[in-house]
Amino acid sequence: MSSTLTIIQGVKARRIFNSRGEETVEITVKTLGGAGVAAAPAGKSRGLHEVEYYPRGGVEEAVEKVRKLVEPKLLGVDSSNQEEVDRVLHEIDGTENFSRIGGNTAYAVSMAAAEAAAKSLGKPLFLHMAKLGEVHIPLPLGNVLGGGKHAGKGAPDIQEFLVLPEKAEKIWEAYAAAVKVHRLLGKTLERKLPDFTGGKGDEGAWAPRIGSEEALALVVEAAEQVSAEVGLRIRVGLDVASSSLWDGEKQVYVYASEGKTRDGGSQLDFMLELIGKFKLAYVEDPLHEEDFEGFAELTSKASKFGCLICGDDLFVTNRRRLEAGIRVKAATAVIIKPNQVGTLTDTWEAVNSALNAGMVPVASHRSGETCDGKLAHLALAYGCPLIKTGVIGGERASKYNELIRVQEAYPERIQPTDLTPHLKPR
């Protein structure tokens, strides 16, 4: 439903900083009835097929292009018509990968327009954006120990060691359980590693000098202990970020901290070994971003363990790449990062394709985050059973805190989530 209150009256961009101290763009969209504000995050391990974050001149040029190009074209557009807002953004940019205005600019404008419309119509953002009949609270997929590009030298080669509860009535209890695992794991690392100084990576996860398998064993131990304490079954997963390990010239995965290399077959076998040994519930990017065939083989073999195989760099929230993966059954889950593709409309197209294929869409943060909590609303609105947004740090907690507030305010509209059916051995 449109209203004169939702007509866009102004669009303003500014430079702010993300959690890594990098410049990023924040957008305010004003309507007659209110205003929306959204900030763009930034990833460190980016997929090859993501849109361009910014034009060549960086954030400063992006801000200038909002003033010169974006605002004039969006004045008078109805912010409640998300498809039209996003169509205009594509028209302004005119490239396949948002290289003219920047994908981060497009995302922040798109999301700010959605919030402006929601406020103008007097609706919560998640209900204004809602695409499905039922709304379910997403379960947290939290990074408690990190390596790879998110941590320093000597940390595990695998990028993220994750915990997730299989089900929960309230987001508060699920998030509290993840925090407990993080805290217990920190104490365990202090006890077992004399040189551990309490260092953390980009996402607030512990960053010890330790091998990947030893790290995984400690995370599983902590998750099992907290599971017994809180009465929620907490499973463990990995984000391998294999494209960061892949040496295309030598056709091997390089595990620098371990001093090992693995070819494609050995990498697949290694992933299956970890899944079986540690009863993993989730493995993201186990192979590099062009290996659809390897993903499909691993997904088929991992099904007997009830483990989700998730593509991030493989799909980059791009509907065309996702549908190519669906045709070969490359994965059972997909990471959803709106700034990988640019607009909310593009994001929904990817989520909708995933849902229609029976896949699990995972709404995800980036390693360089802001305290913008709108990812929580997107997860609710688009039916994402999981939200991956770290555990510790204000920029991570902001998403969970927003979910806590929303569930408290609209208990009758939000159903609990049970991931167990997706984790049954096939």
Catalytic amino acids?
203, 337
How is 148-183 classified by DSSP, letter by letter? GGGS-TTS-SS-EEEEEESEES-HHHHHHHHHHHHH
CA proximity to 387, closest of 321, 337, 316, 328? 337
The candidate with the shortest Cα–Cα distance to 277, out of 359, 212, 324, 344, is: 212
Q: Which two tokens stand for residue 154?
A: 């000597």
CA–CA gap between residue 208 and residue 151 (Å, rounded): 9
Could you give the C-alpha distances from 342 to 94, 97, 165, 284, 413, in angstroms and in order?
13, 8, 30, 22, 29
**Cβ of 132: how many Cβ atoms within 10 Å?**
13
DSSP 308: E
* Residues near 127 by beta carbon (within 8 Å), at least 6 away in sequence: 118, 135, 381, 410, 413
CA distances from 102 to 86, 308, 342 (A): 13, 32, 8
User: For 282-426, where are the E strands, in sequence order?
Assistant: 282-284, 308-311, 333-336, 360-364, 386-388, 414-415, 417-418
Question: CA 159 to CA 145: how far, in whole Å?
Answer: 8
Task: Work out the widest C-alpha separation in the chain, in whole angstroms.
Answer: 64
Sign of the dihedral defined by the CA atoms of residues 76, 79, 83, 88, in that order: positive
d(CA 371, CA 374): 9
User: 3-class SS at 107?
Assistant: helix
- 218 closest CA partner among 252, 176, 189: 189
DSSP state of 248: T
